[in-house]
Structure formats: structure tokens, C-alpha cells
Amino acid sequence: MEFNSPQNQPTVARISEAAIRQNFLLFRNHCGPSVKICPAVKANAYGHGVSIVAPVLAKAGADMFCVANTLEAQELETVSQGVDILVFTPIQAGLPEKALLTEAVEAGYHLTIADMSGAEALVETASKSTAKALVHIKVDTGMGRMGTMPQCALELVKFVSSQNGLQLQGLYTHFASADEEDPAFTLEQLRCFNQFLQAATKIVKDIPLIHAANSAAALRFAESRFNMVRPGLSIYGYQPSRALGDLEAVGKLRPTLRLESRLVLVKDLPEGHSCGYGRTFRASRKTKIGIVPIGYSDGYDRAYSNRAVMSVAGGTAPVIGRVSMDQTILDLTDLPQAQRGDVVTVISEKRHEPNSVEALAELVNTIPYEVTCRLGRRITRQSVSDF
């Protein structure tokens, strides 16, 4: 039996294939048959395990996958079942190194450029390859991060379309606030992108892929879908923000992850005894405690100390004391039936539970993305048909 198999690990993230499929098909139905679906599976599928998530999405009909960089693309390729891969991080002169860039071109990855140096690097690489470099140009319409300004993007369109070794496959942008209640800035970005597209299509008439929408935009703004959308967080069943809570489609999303561990020690502490580093918890009564072998090294945030809860023995147990690197302490005093070896639900797949992804994010004033993306490599990911 392998050391890292679920049977040998006390802490396991169980990933529901049925929930992944349901969320994907929700986008397919919501966006319509003319819109391609390109799920974001970067950052190890937002912490859920790309080797589990990608095959399920491929079988469900994903048209393309998107990842952060070429190294992620190489990892994904082994489990993508032939689905095309888009790399978000723009190619730059010298990045990635020439050998890796050559491999990316020859593998047929769709590669992003956002300046002339990246375009020229692809020309040089493609000139030494039998394959054409498949290019997407990213336009900065207001995100102020990766991407080039619209006028410079038009120059890139002209350049790419003039090069035999390059093949323009897509134009795209990214919204800065599509998940916020006020839609004004998103609509302004959309206006800017449409204006750019009008000019770009005068240079190149047939551009296969036009895409802009993340989860929130795809769900909220039909006009942002063009012919492909890039859902990320919502593929995994989580709400990008409370601003989307009233949308019917959001209510149908199913969280795909349940994080389980076990009580590895249960014992009684006398009244007045303290727990954990800094002695931030002191027992006001005789207290039964349980130790869960998960800590901030595994992505269970230290900020949950004395604030979060976990589910065990048919009830909820407060986290007491400071979360350590490898261990967290629970107060089991009101759960007398709890005993060593019991399963502990660290993160619940039930959205309205106090230890759901959304609840834990809200508890420490962060976003659901961070809760799942932080889950560490010591945690085994296990595919299950459903919860």
C-alpha cells in the first residue's frame, strides 16, 4: 500500500465527480450551445487536484482548459484527454526558457502574448519548429495587470497576422469587478473590449475565439460571453461573491470538496489548563479536547484559531487555542460520545454549514479561492462518485 494513499492518510480531500459535472453542465446550459466552455484548472484545479478534476471535465465536454503557465500545462496534458490548453501568463523574451517554449509550441498549447517581445520570441521559436505557434492576445481593458493596452494590441494583431509561423487563435480580456454588485465598471470594460474588437476584425476577419467572461460575468452578463467563457471558482461549486447570491444559477452550484481528518488523540484537561502556543485558550471548566492532524502547513489558516469549528460525532466542535503548523485542537466537552479515531469534517461540502468554504472565507475576511487553493500537498485528494 502506498504511503500517500487515502487509506494511510488521516486527512483526505474528497472530490465529488458528480458535483463537478453538474457545475460544468450548469454553465453549458446557462451559456447556450454556441458558447465554448474553458474551465480554469490552474493552481492544481484551485486546490482540488487537477488529475481528478480535468478528466471529469473532459468527459463532460470541456472545449478547452486554461492554466497559469507552461509548467502547469505540461502537468495538465498528461490528464487532459486531448482537450486544448490555454496558457494565461504572457510569453516574454527569455520566459519561459527556449527549450520549454519550444516544447509548448510543439505541444500545441494556446499561448498568450501581451507585448511585441513575446510575439517576436514566438516567431523565433516557430521558425525552428514544424508547428505553428497558436496565439491569443490579451487586452487590458481596465484590470491593470497582465495584458496590453488596446492600441498596442492592434499592433500585435497586425504583426501576428503577418507572420507565417504564428496563428492567431484568440483575443481576450479579463474583468476586474464582475463579481461586485455595481456592474458599471464591468460594462465599461466590455464597451472598451467591443471597441477594440471592431478595429481588430478589420485587420483579421476570422478570429476563432473571443473570450472575456470569468464565472461571475458568464453568470451575470450574457453580452460578455462572446463564443467562449472561462469559469473558474464556480466550476468547483462556490459563489464568487454575495452579489451573485440571488441568481438562480448560483443556487444550483454544488460544492465539490469535503475535507476530512480524524481525531488522533482525545484527553481531558483540568479547569484552568491552557491550550496551544501563547496560551490563548484557558479552560473555564474540565475540558475534553481532541487533536486533529492538520494545521497551517496544510492550508488550515492560523487565523481560524479560537474562531472556527469542525464537525465530529454528530455535532460541531470549536477550534480552541492557536492552530499549529501540523495540529489543531478541538473542544469536545459538549460531545461526550466523541472518541479517538472519529472522522472529523474540517471543511464541509454543505454551503450553509459553519465550516463550509464560504463560511471559513468570511470568518477571516478573505475569498473562497484562498481557502481551497491553500490546501497543501500533504493532503491526499481522492475522487468519489458523489457525497
pLDDT (0 to 100) of residue 13: 98
Using one digit for the tens of pLDDT, what is the confidence trace for 46-56? 999 999 999 99
pLDDT (0 to 100) of residue 120: 96
pLDDT (0 to 100) of residue 75: 97
CA dihedral sign of residues 84, 104, 47, 180: negative
Higher pLDDT, 244 or 53: 53
- What's domain 257-348's superfamily in CATH? Lyase, Ornithine Decarboxylase; Chain A, domain 1 (2.40.37.10)
If you average pLDDT over residues 116-143, what whole number do you get? Answer: 96
Out of 59, 202, 267, 277, pick the active-site residue.
277
Give the model's confidence band at 174: pLDDT under 50 very low, under 70 low, under 90 confident, else very high. very high
pLDDT at 246 over 80: no
- Cell (9 digits) for 201: 476584425
Using one digit for the tens of pLDDT, what is the confidence trace for 133-155? 999 999 999 999 999 999 999 99
Helix/strand/coil for 30: helix
Angle between helices 116-127 and 98-107 (to 10 degrees): 70
Q: How far is CA 263 from the centre of its chain?
A: 29
Using one digit for the tens of pLDDT, what is the confidence trace for 197-222? 999 999 999 999 999 999 999 999 99
pLDDT (0 to 100) of residue 4: 45
Helix/strand/coil for 126: helix
Task: Please give the C-alpha separations between residue 179 and each of 7, 51, 211, 225, 266, in angstroms, as whole numbers.
Answer: 39, 28, 17, 15, 43
Give the model's confidence band at 2: pLDDT under 50 very low, under 70 low, under 90 confident, else very high. very low
- As a whole number of angstroms, the distance between CA 56 and CA 22 comes to 11
pLDDT at 307 over 70: yes
pLDDT at 64 over 60: yes
Domain ranges across the chain? 16-251, 257-348
If you average pLDDT over residues 252-262, what whole number do you get? Answer: 97
For the stretch 108-125, what's the b/e string if a residue is b when 16 or more beta carbons lie within 10 angstroms of its beta carbon?
ebbbbbbbeebbebbbeb
What percentage of the chain carries pLDDT values higher than 90? 92
pLDDT at 236 over 60: yes
**What is the third-level CATH fold of 16-251?**
TIM Barrel (3.20.20)
Out of 36, 42, 138, 288, pick the active-site residue.
42
277 among known catalytic residues: yes
Give the model's confidence band at 162: pLDDT under 50 very low, under 70 low, under 90 confident, else very high. very high
If you average pLDDT over residues 101-128, what whole number do you get? Answer: 96
Give the model's confidence band at 261: pLDDT under 50 very low, under 70 low, under 90 confident, else very high. very high
Check if 16-251 and 257-348 are the same fold. no
- As a whole number of angstroms, the distance between CA 41 and CA 273 comes to 46
Mean pLDDT value across the chain = 95
pLDDT at 103 over 60: yes
pLDDT (0 to 100) of residue 8: 62
pLDDT at 1 over 60: no
